[in-house]
Amino acid sequence: MIDFELTENQIAVRDMARDVTEKVIKPTIQEYDRAHKPHPDLLPAMAKANLLGFCIPEKYGGLGTDYISLGLACEELEYGDTSARVVLSVHIGLYALPVLTWANEEQKQKYLVPIARGEKIGSFGLTEPAAGSDAVGIQTTAVKGGNDWILNGEKMWISLADLADYFLIFAWTDLDKKAKRDHSGLSAFIVEREWQGVSTGKIPGKLGVRAGNTGFIAMQDVRVPGENLVYEEGQGFKVAMFCLDQGRYTVAAGSCGLIKACRDASVEYAKQRETFQKPIADHQLVKQMIANMEAGYEYSSYLWMKAGWLKNQGMRSTKATSLAKWIACREAEKAAADAVQVFGAYGFSDEYPVERFYRNSKGASIYEGTREIHTLMQADYALGYRVDKQLERDLPKTDQ
């Protein structure tokens, strides 16, 4: 039975993330959002607070926290700004947890320990210019070259592209299967930024998450040592889908932070702003919008916490995570739109944060599986067309 009472460890982790949000993110995030630049103090502050080692066992340099703690941290960070939560989504959800689960011991010592300590930053490269939801549509290839693999291709919409040290990259290692769109021809590799042939760049003009680094990774004849193949050749699709499960979980939890930020900003403003000789908080339709934010936060929180509980128990959580991601992102969009409405004309200006919340809310309904993908997934579960089988490997069970 799910217990929604937080443990002392979970509360401590939540407060660590809240401290970073209140002291580092909120005071200055507006200027970095306006400038379309990452907050220069964010990664150092997160590393100092040990936020970059979530869910990684202590023997690999991490905090050994449970998965609900990760969700709580994501919620607190996105309360300040989506760009802060994205760091945990990518560094932990899309890179560190997959390496923990699928990499061999030698790879963990080399490519996980410095990540858990916050000495290095990890990222994830699946999406390409012509391949998003259609993962087998990627064009990146890896061809044998002696004991190495030669990678060629380009990844697009990569968070932390210009900041990460290591990338978990997916490529076709069987070109015949590529032609047939047979995903058993995909493999996963760990690629280092400093290798010859690797280059990155920023994507300009984003609608939201402007204080987050989003870009591309170009790989031209990049020589990857054979020992950097993750798990087994031809098993990359399994690894990629596992990655997305973890990323979606963090996005769902983070979206609840955005809903809460919209609610709190709307409540404060509605009590101060007067129309027709009374605070707008006394108008029924304003109350309705705030009530919807409260309801959206409550049931979205339960959904991501259920997914986190399943992860803690060592149980498959793909269905629960998909539902949590879909609903929380949907409610975040609604909350942000209503928050702008509560603020009226001022909500249309970046004088107040709700304008930023509105822009940031849109991205989450696209990345880590569009809302349409998750709608179809949930329909297929209900119809019996989709059933989750036990994975060859899954997240280690926690005792917290």
Integer Cα distance of 274 and 241 in angstroms: 50
Assign residue 384 a region: left if phi > 0, alpha if psi is -120 to 50, beta otherwise? left
Integer Cα distance of 191 and 166 in angstroms: 6
Integer Cα distance of 279 and 73 in angstroms: 34
Contacts for 276 with CB less than 8 Å, ≥ 6 apart: none
Name the packing angle between helices 318-343 and 236-272 (round to 10°): 30
Q: How far is CA 27 from CA 40, 135, 254, 297, 343, in A?
A: 13, 39, 19, 24, 21
Q: Are 1 and 58 in contact (CB under 8 A)?
A: no
Integer Cα distance of 251 and 326 in angstroms: 10
Active-site entry in 194, 368, 372, 392 = 368
Burial 302-333 (b: 16+ CB within 10 A, else e): ebbbbbbbbbbeeebbbbbbbbbbbbbbbbbb
**What kind and span of H or E run contains 201?**
strand 198-202
333 classed as catalytic = no
Show the DSSP H helices in the chain as ranges. Answer: 8-20, 29-35, 42-48, 67-80, 82-88, 97-102, 105-111, 113-116, 175-180, 236-272, 284-312, 318-343, 354-363, 371-383
Q: How many helices (H) and strands (E) does the chain have?
A: 14, 10
Integer Cα distance of 388 and 296 in angstroms: 27
**Can you tell me whether residue 205 is helix, strand or coil?**
coil
Q: Which residues are catalytic?
A: 368
